[in-house]
């Protein structure tokens, strides 16, 4: 399922719809559709910031698409969401109605440290 990425501009919490990348060798700022993966040297921008983008003096702005609109959820997104909900529901529904009697804990596990619901098992050797 696609995660909602936010605009990279400070104090802007809107959803990103465009990706800005600088090509320093050509003094060019390239503004295109939202990249599939967030890259460390690119900036995700919302509609407002993408439309108002200006480049430093002497630089050129290349806009790969004239307008940026948020993408609607695709069929794959909805299916992934349904699968995630179904999988989460299985964990709850699969629990037995009455808890069985607790099994005795082996001595090797009794002194193992616990963190929440996880238990550290010591290896042999």
Q: What digits encode the pLDDT tens for the residues 75-102?
A: 666 677 777 777 777 765 545 555 555 5
Per DSSP, the three-state class of 95 is coil
- Which residues fall within 8 angstroms of residue 73, CB to CB, at 6 or more apart? 2
Side-chain-side CA neighbours of 80 within 13 Å: the count stands at: 8
Residue 37: DSSP 8-state:
S
Per DSSP, the three-state class of 122 is coil
CA distance 80 to 31: 29
Q: What angle do CA 60, 63, 65 make, to 5 degrees?
A: 170
For the chain, which residues score pLDDT lower than 50?
A: 1-2, 94
Say what the pLDDT of residue 88 is: 77
Task: Point out which residues pair with 21 in neighbouring strands.
Answer: 30, 42
- Which residues fall within 8 angstroms of residue 89, CB to CB, at 6 or more apart? none
Whole-angstrom Cα Rg for the chain: 25
């Amino acid at each position: 399922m696609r995660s909602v990425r936010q605009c990279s501009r400070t104090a802007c919490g809107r959803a990103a719809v465009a990706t800005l990348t600088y090509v320093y060798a050509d003094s060019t700022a390239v503004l295109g559709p939202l990249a599939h993966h967030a890259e460390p040297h690119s900036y995700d921008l919302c509609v407002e910031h993408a439309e108002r983008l200006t480049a430093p003096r002497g630089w050129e702005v290349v806009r790969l698409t004239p307008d940026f609109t948020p993408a609607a959820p695709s069929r794959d997104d909805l299916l992934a969401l349904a699968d995630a909900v179904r999988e989460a529901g299985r964990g709850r529904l699969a629990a037995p109605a009455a808890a069985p009697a607790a099994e005795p804990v082996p001595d090797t596990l009794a002194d193992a440290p616990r963190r929440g619901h996880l238990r550290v098992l010591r290896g042999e050797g």
